[in-house]
Amino acid sequence: MIVPGYRDNPTEPWDPDAPVDPGEAEDFLRRCYTENPRLGPVEARLAIVRAQIAATGTYTHTPDELTHGARMAWRNASRCIGRLYWRSLLVLDRRRARTADEIYSLLVQHLQTAGDTQIRPVISVFAPAQPGQPYARVWNEQLIRYAGYRTEGGESVGDPRLREFTTAVRAFGWQGKGEAFDVLPLVIETPADGIRLYELPERAIREVPITHPELGWFTELGLRWHAVPTIANMRLTIGGVHYPLAPFNGWYLGTEIGARNLADADRYDMLPVVADRLGLDTSRESTLWRDRALLELNRAVLHSFEQAGVKMSDHHTESQRFLKHLSNEEKAGRPVPADWTWIVPPMSGGITPVFHRYYQELDLRPNFYLDDEAAALAREGMRRCPHHQ
């Protein structure tokens, strides 16, 4: 997925009660102002920030600092192959929003902004955490995810990855249709309103039906996928300031849908179905029926997004672009952290240029982090009764 990173192993765990580290703040500001000479000398700004931290335990980023900090976080995201575009990230400053209703409205705007025509990278940055104070967050791992159910007969319907989360939101009063592609409600938690559930309006959900360029029966499978992959539960940290609610998106890499979401045995598990419709011999692995089914499923995904006019990259093209990013950063004198297991595509990895390299795994900041509690909420939810919208 071409989005700003998936990082969940910071060098030091986040302590929400701790004040901002002045050293981390200074390191960020010096780099930010060096990379943006138009901002002027940094020394005067550092004096202000030091005073703010001493008085309150934190400080407030200027709009320019917030924008460049968010872009730097994408640039440092070691698990993202699409970082060539880091300068293009649209940063929406939503720090004034406080209520669940305000946040919900702005999240809908995010999805519309990101997916209105061509998909564009967008991040909405909400209020930072204050030391020792509760903060707003979204439980969902992505703004758009499909529910997962288990029928009375034991059949799996929808996305098994979201089955426990679906059970949790159903306990809150949401029901769903029990179908394969039911969009889950947003679970927004704020200090002012507690936990609230919101259904996304149709105007915010752009979906692509999956068809095949040659195999007409593909439409009978009833597959589709949403167009805007927006990670919602990762903490953005910039110069020691933490933003627990900073949803961001890029555009999909075809294999994220075709080789993972629809293909994984613990997700939609479509390879046996596609292989059967292709008439393949599935009696033994050596027929490579999985590989052949996987290829046609991925061809269908790329074809469908292209036909719908929705931006998507293939894994060969994006691998070449990542090498361009490496070259650009080397010329700029900056290290490029990269996790080989995420950079190499989950299909045909050995014939992409990113396979035949070694990378350095670094914890550079600014960055995005997935905290344990956020991961647990996205996986299982919590059985506290919210006001249901």
Active site residues: 80, 83, 251, 256
Note whether 249 and 116 are within 8 A (CB).
no
Count of CB atoms situated within 10 Å of the CB of 301? 29
Cα separations in angstroms, 269 against 4, 250, 288, 293 = 27, 25, 16, 11
Note whether 265 and 37 are within 8 A (CB).
no
Q: What span, in angstroms and rounded, lies between the C-alpha atoms of 5 and 249? A: 10
Note whether 306 and 329 are within 8 A (CB).
no
Count of CB atoms situated within 10 Å of the CB of 251? 24
**Three-state SS across the chain?**
CECCCCCCCCCCCCCCCCCCCHHHHHHHHHHHHHHCHHHCCCHHHHHHHHHHHHHHCCCCCCHHHHHHHHHHHHHCCCCCCCHHHHHHCEEEEECCCCCHHHHHHHHHHHHHHHHCCCCCCEEEEECCCCCCCCCCEECCCECCCECEEECCCCCEEECHHHHHHHHHHHHCCCCCCCCCCCECCEEEEECCCEEEEECCCHHHCCEEECCCCCCHHHHHHCCEEECCCEECCCEEEECCEEECCCCEECEEEHHHHHHHHCCCCCCCCCHHHHHHHHCCCCCCHHHCHHHHHHHHHHHHHHHHHHHHCCCEECHHHHHHHHHHHHHHHHHCCCCCECCHHHHCCCCCHHHCCCCCCCCECCCCCCEEECCHHHHHHHHHCCCCCCEEC
